[in-house]
Amino acid sequence: MSIDTETARRVAKLARIKVEDDQLPALAGEFSAILDFIEQLNEVDVEGVEPMTSVTPQRLKRRDDVVTDGDQQAAVLKNAPDAREGFFAVPKVVE
């Protein structure tokens, strides 16, 4: 697939990228090369290939979702410059 300079100009505008007019032909060439590569990848037969998240088959380690550290409210609020009713107190910034 071939991209012309007007299409490259429009893509650059949509991407909010400033491209000078003299650089548009090179950008169009790069876009065309990318699309050619994508078309080449579409020719690969992937029938029966399972999707994978890594190149090595592995399973993520899992753990039980339990609270292992908690009930530290007093220790945490001890570092607060201003704490009220068990919460951090901050000055009002929106009027």
Residues whose CB is less than 8 angstroms from the CB of residue 38 and which lie 6 or more positions away in sequence, other chains included: none
Residue 29 structural domain: 5-42
Q: Average pLDDT per run of 10 along the chain, which is 95 residues long?
A: 91 95 95 94 89 79 83 88 90 84
58 inside domain: no
> What pLDDT score does 1 carry?
73
93 inside domain: no
49 inside domain: no
53 inside domain: no
Cα–Cα distance, 10 to 15 (Å, whole number)? 9
Q: Which run of H or E residues covers position 27? A: helix 24-42
10 inside domain: yes
> What pLDDT score does 59 carry?
78
Closest listed residue to residue 2, CA positions, set 30, 42, 24, 40: 30
> What pLDDT score does 9 carry?
95
75 inside domain: no
At residue 83, the 3 state secondary structure works out as strand
17 inside domain: yes
Domains in the chain, number: 1
66 inside domain: no
